[in-house]
Amino acid sequence: MAETTHDQAKSLRKIMAPPRPVKVIAIASGKGGVGKTNVTVNIGVALAASGKQVLLMDADLGLANIDVMLGLHPQYNLLHVLDGSRTLEEIIVEGPSGLKIIPAASGVQKMAELTPAEHAGMIQAFSDMDQHIDVLLIDSAAGIADSVISFTRAAQEVIIVVCDEPASITDAYALIKLLSRDYNVDHFHIIANMATNIQEGRELFNKISMVCDRFLDVSLDFMGIVPFDDDLRRAVKRQRAVVDYLPRSKSATAFTHLAKKIEHWPVIKQPRGHMEFFVERLIEASLDIA
């Protein structure tokens, strides 16, 4: 009886609570090896350090490594959510500055071969969560796999991480082309990683922007750069986020600057109509409450 009363009270609090907008951001890259996950982790830690409630989902389902990058040892991961043995809330682990992380499995072929329906089901599992968060970061896999499409379509904003290599540029363009042409995603933020200086970063952005302007109907936003930094390498070897380990380093300063930009992005109040299950549940859209 007491348990039933508790459940009813919990449900009532959910109904009575005002809508809580959440920024849902997918971070992707055209190819691997450009530092996408490092960018995601450090932006997440920087946002959490500023007082935001941040949840980071490792959506590189078959080759997950956020837990390794931060020296964490989660007991459960998304594989346990898929088999029904755990809920999303039960697998969350805490990282630096209170950053909350949803770990995925690494080296598990089943996770790398999920169908689009299984991706949608996993996204829908967020409807059972009772977490109060300000920002949800999705660290997607590299490339154009089904999971990348599913999670980028489930987000409000998409960040593409690139570096000054021909393959990185061409593959980033291919990802943008696919998302815009086939899935109506028309706005992207670009981060130039491992850049020598801001001028090099802008030149890299311009290369992508010129091709997109010529062939695609999209808008690109240059977020900034993450400079090449030996301190960042030291942090990686220590399994630490550089924002937490060496906060005065060049790269940590850049990540903090990028996080501040994200803080000023407006929050979309309702889903665009693609697959934004995250938004539909997490902001408890005012149309549903009214």
All residues at 6 or more sequence positions from 62 whose CB lies less than 8 Å from its CB, including other chains = 105, 106, 107, 108, 109, 111, 112, 113, 141
pTM, two decimal places: 0.84
Per-residue pLDDT of the chain in tens (290 residues, 90 and over written 9): 555 444 544 444 444 444 456 788 999 998 889 999 999 999 999 999 999 999 999 888 767 789 999 999 999 988 888 788 888 889 999 999 999 999 987 655 566 566 666 666 666 666 556 667 889 899 988 888 777 887 888 788 999 999 999 999 999 999 999 999 998 899 999 999 999 999 999 999 999 999 999 999 999 999 999 999 999 999 999 999 999 999 999 999 999 999 999 999 987 665 544 444 454 444 333 233 33
Question: Hey, what CATH topology would domain 20-283 get?
Answer: Rossmann fold (3.40.50)
Residue 89 corresponds to which tokens in the numbers above? 């809330």
DSSP summary character for residue 125: G
CB contact set of 215 (below 8 Å; sequence gap of 6+): 177
DSSP strand pairing (54-59 vs 135-142): parallel
**Residue spans per domain, the chain:** 20-283
Tokens of 268: 């979309």
Alpha-carbon distance of 48 to 243, in angstroms, equals 11
pLDDT for the residue numbered 281: 44
State how far the Cα of 103 lies from the Cα of 108, in Å rounded to an integer: 13
pLDDT reported for residue 39: 97
Residue where the block lists tokens 């665009």: 272
